[in-house]
């Protein structure tokens, strides 16, 4: 099912993030923007490479280990 509303992310450009899930768990980066599919985001990794990852895999840097990844919230 497709939701016509665009989700709002808890991240803002420039936020320090860490991958909390996926094959590269623990990878730090800087949040750049949401992709056209707002369930995906671009981050700049430590190496300077920009990569796309699911938003649900991201947490703000400094979150406690085991924290729930940030979730998109649909606007009302």
- 10-residue mean pLDDT series, the chain (76 residues): 49 94 92 94 95 94 61 44
The reported pLDDT for the residue numbered 4 is: 42
The reported pLDDT for the residue numbered 62 is: 82
C-alpha separations of 5 from 10, 52, 69 in Å: 16, 21, 21
Q: Which domains does the chain have, with CATH numbers?
A: 7-74 (2.30.30.30)
Q: How many CB atoms lie within 10 A of CB 53?
A: 20
CB-based contact 41:53 (threshold 8 Å): yes
The reported pLDDT for the residue numbered 64 is: 44
Give, rounded to a whole angstrom, the gap between the first and last alpha carbons of the chain: 18
The reported pLDDT for the residue numbered 10 is: 83
SS3 label, residue 73: strand
């Amino acid at each position: 099912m497709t939701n016509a509303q665009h989700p709002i992310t808890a991240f803002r450009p420039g936020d320090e993030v860490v991958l909390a899930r996926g094959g590269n768990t623990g990878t730090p980066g800087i949040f750049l923007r949401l992709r056209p599919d707002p369930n995906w985001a671009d981050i700049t990794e430590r190496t300077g490479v920009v990569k796309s990852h699911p938003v649900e895999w991201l947490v703000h840097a400094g979150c406690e280990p085991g924290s729930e990844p940030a979730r998109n919230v649909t606007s009302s």
